[in-house]
Amino acid sequence: MLTLRFLATGDSYHSLQYLFRIPVTTISRIIPEVCEAIFTELKTDYLQIPNSQEEWYEVAKGFEEIWNFPNCLGTLDGKHVVMKAPRNKGRLYFNYKGTHSIVLMALVDAKYKFLYVDVGCNGRISDGGVYANCSLSRALENNMLNMPKPRPLPG
């Protein structure tokens, strides 16, 4: 219940300690552990990057049919998730928007289904820096995603 409450409301660990009568030090161990377990259990069912040319063609087909945007293999963007600055490390998480954050970067298909997610880079890093250091970037650079060959645009 603790982790579900945290994920649903974004309540601070401080407020959760009073609600659940659990010390913050314990909460700070429980929530990340449960989130990791949830991710480990569900990632293969709900977070799969295409691994064949046929699957990439299906992603592209979705963009063409829904958005009239041919040859698109996904949309990629980053989002700053605002957080309280960690003690003695606030500078690392201070972003260009003037808040402290971690960066969530995601690749989605035409129906907004997540294909890839990278979370946890400190907010000080630019979107380009986050991308350059993620496993998706390395996989693309090393031709490990079985992407289809380029095709001319229709028309």
pLDDT (tens digit per residue) in 121-130: 899 999 899 9
Q: Are residues 111 and 79 in the same domain?
A: yes
* Closest by Cα among 103, 105, 104 to 137: 105
Establish if 155 belongs to a structural domain: no
Q: Are residues 95 and 72 in the same domain?
A: yes
Mean pLDDT of 36-58: 91
Give the 3-state secondary structure of residue 52: coil
Establish if 107 belongs to a structural domain: yes
Q: Are residues 60 and 128 in the same domain?
A: yes
Q: Are residues 113 and 95 in the same domain?
A: yes
Mean pLDDT of 103-118: 94
Give the 3-state secondary structure of residue 33: helix
Token digits of residue 75: 């949309």
Mean pLDDT of 72-84: 92
Establish if 29 belongs to a structural domain: yes
Considering the chain, what percentage of its residues have pLDDT values greater than 70? 100
Mean pLDDT of 66-77: 97
**Number of structural domains the chain divides into:** 2
User: How confident is the model at residue 47, as a pLDDT?
Assistant: 86
Does the pLDDT of residue 146 top 90, yes or no?
yes
Q: Are residues 122 and 53 in the same domain?
A: yes
Q: Are residues 23 and 56 in the same domain?
A: no
User: How confident is the model at residue 106, as a pLDDT?
Assistant: 94
Establish if 137 belongs to a structural domain: yes
User: How confident is the model at residue 1, as a pLDDT?
Assistant: 93
Q: Are residues 105 and 58 in the same domain?
A: yes
For residues 14 and 24, is the Cβ–Cβ distance under 8 A? yes
Burial of residue 65 (CB within 10 Å: 0-12, 13-18, 19+) is exposed
Residue 120 dihedral angles phi and psi, to the nearest 5°:
120, -10
* DSSP H/E element including 61: helix 53-67
C-alpha 127/C-alpha 111 separation (Å) is: 23
Which residues, in sequence order, are CB contacts of 146 under 8 Å at separation 6+? 50, 51, 52, 53, 56
Does the pLDDT of residue 137 top 90, yes or no?
yes
Q: Are residues 127 and 81 in the same domain?
A: yes
Which domain, by its residues, includes 35?
A: 2-44
For residues 55 and 44, is the Cβ–Cβ distance under 8 A? no
User: How confident is the model at residue 36, as a pLDDT?
Assistant: 87
Mean pLDDT of 106-123: 92
Q: Are residues 14 and 90 in the same domain?
A: no
